[in-house]
Amino acid sequence: MNKVIITVVGKDTVGIIARICTYLAEHRANILDISQTIVQGYFHMMMIVDMSGADLEFLQAADELEHLGEDIGVVVKCQREEIFESMHRLTSLSQ
């Protein structure tokens, strides 16, 4: 499994989730979990996405999602899940 965390932060508007989900579906990235909330008037969304079946490399997807976010007026960030796992879970890291 090649899991990526996508976070979206910005002013709430129509179709943020739709645009991002459409992009992921087009590239065969599988959404495992999705949650959203509004904090102090700002839209926060987090997705856990499995990229192992996707038809593009991580860095390309990260760049394109970032640009997609700029179009909508939100900040989209893609990060591999391991950074959060390593900070918040006592799982063993290799080596």
Partner 1 sequence: MLRIDMSEVRETNEMIEKENLDVRTITLGIGLHDCISDDLERLCTAVYDKITRKAEHLVETGEAIGREFGIPIVNKRISVTPIAMIGAAACRSEADFVKLAGSLDRAAGTVGVNFLGGYSALVEMGMTRADELLIHSIPEALSTTGVLCSSVCLGSTRAGIDMDAVRLMGGVIRATAEKTADQDSLGCAKLVVFCNAVDDNPFMAGAFHGVTQPDEVINVGVSGPGVVKTALEKVRGASFEVLCETIKKTAFQVTRVGQLVATEAARRLQVPFGIVDLSLAPTPAVGDSVADILCEMGLTEAGAPGTTAALALLNDQVKKGGLMASSSVGGLSGAFIPVSEDQGMIAAARSGALTIEKLEAMTSVCSVGLDMIAVPGDTSAAKISGIIADEMAIGMINGKTTAVRVIPVIGKKVGEEAQFGGLLGSAPIIPVGSADCDAFIARTGRIPRPVTGFRN
Residue 85 as a binder of partner 1 (CB under 8 A): the answer is yes
Residue 83 beta carbon to partner 1: minimum distance, rounded to whole angstroms: 4
Site for partner 1 in 25-54 (CB under 8 A): 33, 35, 37, 44, 46, 48
- In 3D space, the residue among 53, 45, 43, 44 whose CA is nearest the CA of residue 3 turns out to be 53
CB nearer to partner 1: pick between 64 and 81: 81
What residues contact residue 70 under an 8 Å CB cut-off, 6+ apart?
none
Q: Encode 48-90 in three state secondary structure.
A: EEECCCCCCCHHHHHHHHHHHHHHHCEEEEEEECHHHHHHHCC
Q: Of 1, 14, 18, 59, which one interacts with partner 1 (CB under 8 A)?
A: 59
Residue 4 beta carbon to partner 1: minimum distance, rounded to whole angstroms: 9
State the residues that interact with partner 1 by CB under 8 A.
5, 7, 33, 35, 37, 44, 46, 48, 58-59, 62, 77-89, 91, 93-95
